[in-house]
């Protein structure tokens, strides 16, 4: 099934074949860029980028990606739009659809993204919500493939807060047949609905999803060790409470020693070194964090090309 004209709100909505198509095109556009070859798949196209949450990687990767694909990206903060002054999301969706060829939104409420997609007549890409971060999760698995080859049957361990990254990684790991163990404090578990949906996919693709409160149990024999910040944007006021609950979930050399000797370490960034991950691990040879950050550009270019390009 073609991705042309569709939305990307969640990896759960993609088929295995569609995930593989994104990865296939990612390699093509990445190789072309590295070789200095033009790949203007979206020449003359425009992406509207709505930011209710600020970002380094999301803004730069989408903006540069559109330019490299021959198109243009427009940065639209909440302060720049009437949506920040009370205009209904459905009105903004229909107006922007008359001007642009695609919309990327990075915001708090996942329901807001779903409403935007419902009323927009152009593809909508979820750049991040409090529930899901699909572009990052697809990037993470693509990076794992670059470093590990076939990922089916391999094990990822996610350590820390059961946030949008934990949710999205469960979805994408299940979709590609990768096992995932998620270790969180009991009060910061992943979304139950996401766990249920991911486990349905895991049964279809022969993988497993394990939830635990023991980071050492999760990391044991892992091929990939993953973590994220303990307090996401909008949660800083709860930092001290979160720190107390999450202190034993730090990815450090001792914890990494339980994983496979050739395990790689991932973090979606920004990292708070000394909190969820130590500086030593971030700078170690096992860290592929900056390869991962670069691949946001290439994966998102593939996503935009498939959704917004010619069928």
How many C-beta atoms lie closer than 10 Å to residue 43's C-beta?
11
| Closest C-alpha to 281, from 251, 239, 304 | 251
Q: Write out pLDDT tens, residues 192-242.
A: 999 999 999 999 999 999 999 999 999 999 999 999 999 876 566 677 889
- Which of 106, 242, 267, 298 is an active site residue? 106
Answer CATH for 11-133+293-308 from 3.30.565.10, 3.40.50.1370, 3.90.110.10, 3.40.50.150: 3.40.50.1370
pLDDT digits (tens, 9 = 90+) for 243-287: 999 999 999 999 999 999 999 999 999 999 999 999 999 999 999
| 5 burial via Cβ count (<10 Å: 0-12, 13-18, 19+) | middle
Please name the residues in contact with 8: beta carbons below 8 A apart, sequence gap of 6 or more.
Answer: 14, 123, 124, 125, 126, 134, 135, 303, 307
Active site residue 268: yes
- pLDDT bucket at 1, cuts 50 / 70 / 90: low
**Residue 139 marked as a ligand binder:** no
Catalytic residue of the set 7, 228, 250, 267? 228
pLDDT of residue 10: 98
Tell me whether strands 224-227 and 155-159 are parallel, antiparallel or unpaired. Answer: parallel
* pLDDT tens by residue, 88-128: 999 999 999 999 999 999 999 999 999 999 999 999 999 99
Q: Is 270 helix (H, G, I), strand (E, B) or coil?
A: coil
| pLDDT of amino acid 179 | 98
* Among 136, 250, 286, 300, the one annotated catalytic: 136
Residue 232, marked binder: yes
From 59, 133, 154, 298, the catalytic residue: 133
Question: Structurally, what CATH architecture does the domain formed by 136-288 represent?
Answer: 3-Layer(aba) Sandwich (3.40)
Say if residues 303 and 138 touch (Cβ distance below 8 Å): yes
- Say yes or no to pLDDT of 80 above 90: no
CA distance 279 to 251: 10
Cα–Cα dist 135/132, whole Å = 9
**Could you confirm whether 267 is annotated as catalytic?**
no
Q: Which H or E run contains 72?
A: strand 72-77
Q: What is the pLDDT of residue 310?
A: 81
Is 106 among the catalytic positions? yes
According to the model, what pLDDT value does residue 235 have? 61
Six-digit token pair at 128?
A: 């991040």
Report whether 219 contacts 286 (CB < 8 A): no
pTM: 0.97
The answer to whether the annotation marks 268 as part of a ligand binding site is yes
CATH 3.40.50.1370 domain range(s) in the chain: 11-133+293-308, 136-288
Query: Which is the catalytic residue, given 7, 130, 267, 268?
Result: 268
Q: Where are the alpha helices (DSSP H) in the chain?
A: 16-34, 57-68, 89-97, 110-119, 134-148, 164-176, 192-205, 215-219, 239-246, 253-256, 279-282, 289-308
Of 279, 139, 157, 154, whose CA–CA distance to 210 is shortest? 157
Mark whether 118 is an active-site residue.
no
> Any known ligand binding at 269?
yes
**164 annotated as a binding-site residue:** yes
250 catalytically annotated: no
Q: Which of 90, 84, 129 is nearest to 110 (CA)?
A: 129
The overall average pLDDT reported for the chain is 96
Instruction: Give the integer Cα–Cα distance in Å for 70 and 73.
Output: 10
Angle separating helix axes 164-176 and 134-148, nearest 10 degrees: 50
Q: For the chain, what percent of residues have pLDDT higher than 90? A: 91
Three-state secondary structure string covering 98-131: CCCCEEEEECCCHHHHHHHHHHCCCCEEEEECCC
Is residue 173 among the annotated active site residues? no
């Amino acid at each position: 099934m073609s991705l042309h004209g569709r939305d990307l709100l969640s990896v759960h909505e993609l088929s295995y074949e569609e995930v593989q198509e994104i990865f296939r095109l990612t390699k093509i556009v990445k190789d072309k860029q590295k070789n200095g070859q033009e790949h203007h798949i979206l020449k003359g196209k425009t992406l509207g980028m709505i930011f209710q949450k600020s970002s380094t990687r999301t803004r730069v990767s989408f903006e540069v990606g559109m330019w490299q694909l021959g198109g243009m990206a427009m940065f639209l903060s909440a302060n720049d739009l009437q949506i920040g002054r009370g205009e209904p999301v459905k009105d903004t969706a229909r107006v922007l659809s008359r001007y642009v060829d695609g919309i990327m939104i990075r915001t708090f409420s996942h329901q807001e993204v779903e409403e935007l997609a419902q009323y927009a007549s152009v593809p909508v890409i979820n750049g991040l919500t409090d529930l899901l971060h699909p572009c990052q999760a697809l990037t993470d698995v693509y990076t794992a493939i670059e470093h590990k080859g076939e990922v089916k049957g391999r094990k990822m361990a996610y350590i820390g807060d059961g946030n949008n990254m934990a949710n999205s990684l469960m979805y994408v790991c299940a979709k590609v047949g990768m096992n995932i163990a998620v270790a969180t404090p009991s009060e910061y578990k992943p979304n139950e609905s996401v766990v249920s949906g991911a486990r349905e996919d895991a049964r279809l693709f022969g993988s497993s999803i394990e939830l635990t409160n023991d980071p050492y149990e999760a990391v044991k024999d892992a091929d990939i060790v993953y973590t994220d910040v303990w307090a996401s944007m909008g949660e800083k006021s709860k930092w001290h409470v979160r720190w107390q609950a999450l202190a034993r979930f730090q990815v450090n050399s001792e914890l990494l020693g339980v994983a496979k000797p050739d395990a790689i370490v991932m973090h979606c960034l920004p990292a708070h070194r000394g909190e969820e991950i130590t500086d030593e691990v971030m700078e170690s040879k096992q860290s592929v964090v900056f390869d991962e950050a670069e691949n946001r550009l290439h994966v998102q270019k593939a996503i935009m090309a498939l959704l917004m390009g010619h069928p």
